[in-house]
């Protein structure tokens, strides 16, 4: 009698919870396999939209093999309009991700400083168009001044821009 009571009090709840965990895990796996292609497509669509916003002359993009410690992605416009290069560098509050669009003439068409953990009101100033617009038509970060009091964040953007220009030269030369 006692063994039956131990089974009812200890083993049965463990078996029931194990079966529930297996069923729920299986359902999560099935849900993931169904939704992953949709999520991947939406992520690519959003990234393509960001690239198109920076380089509107482009019709579509193909990723080019290139990476280093700063640059994570290089995308070439399929119609030859230029490149959009993504990288990140250490700022004051963490990594500062930046997308740099480079036109066919080798000058910066636009940059976008993406969401980061820099200090609101100070380091986040690198995200404002009053700063990012300074890069248009330039061939590197050395032609742009830092924002007063925002040296770490500015330098992070400069590092990515200069690395993007170096990546552009490397990719362009083949």
Last residue of a domain, one of 54, 71, 96: 54
Distances (CA, A) of 43 to 29, 77, 108, 119: 20, 18, 25, 27
Q: Do 81 and 121 lie in a common domain? A: yes
Q: Do 65 and 133 lie in a common domain? A: yes
- Cite the beta strand spans of 104-166 per DSSP E: 108-113
Number of domains in the chain: 2
Q: Do 103 and 71 lie in a common domain? A: yes
**Cβ-proximal residues to 144 (8 Å cutoff; 6+ apart), any chain:** 134, 135, 138, 158
**Given the structure tokens 């995308």, which residue do they identify?**
75
- What is the pTM for the complete model shown? 0.76
Residue 119 above 80 pLDDT? no
Q: Do 153 and 136 lie in a common domain? A: yes
Q: Do 45 and 72 lie in a common domain? A: no
Q: Do 78 and 13 lie in a common domain? A: no
State the chain's mean pLDDT as an integer: 89
Q: Identify the pLDDT of residue 1.
A: 45
Q: Do 91 and 164 lie in a common domain? A: yes
Task: Kindly report, residue by residue over 2-18, the tens digit of the pLDDT.
Answer: 556 777 888 889 999 99
Q: Do 90 and 26 lie in a common domain? A: no
- Domain around 112: 55-173
Q: Do 28 and 82 lie in a common domain? A: no
Task: Kindly report, residue by residue over 130-173, the tens digit of the pLDDT.
Answer: 889 999 999 888 878 777 767 788 899 999 999 999 999 999 88
Better-scored residue on pLDDT, 100 or 141: 100
Residue 47 above 90 pLDDT? no
DSSP structure class, residue 106: S
């Amino acid at each position: 009698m006692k063994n039956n009571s131990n089974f009812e009090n200890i083993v049965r709840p463990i078996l029931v919870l194990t079966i529930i965990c297996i069923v729920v895990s299986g359902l999560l796996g099935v849900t993931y396999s169904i939704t992953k292609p949709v999520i991947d497509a939406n992520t690519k669509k959003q990234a393509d939209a960001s690239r198109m916003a920076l380089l509107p002359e482009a019709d579509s993009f193909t990723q080019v093999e290139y990476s280093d410690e700063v640059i994570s992605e290089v995308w070439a416009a399929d119609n030859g309009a230029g490149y959009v290069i993504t990288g990140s560098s250490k700022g004051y509050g963490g990594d500062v991700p930046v997308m740099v669009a480079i036109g066919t003439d080798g000058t910066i068409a636009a940059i976008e400083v993406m969401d980061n953990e820099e200090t609101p009101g100070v380091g986040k100033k690198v995200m404002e168009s009053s700063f990012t617009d300074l890069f248009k038509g330039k061939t590197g970060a050395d032609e742009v001044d830092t924002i007063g009091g925002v040296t770490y964040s500015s330098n992070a953007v400069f590092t990515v821009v200069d690395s993007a220009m170096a990546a552009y030269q490397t990719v362009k030369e083949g």
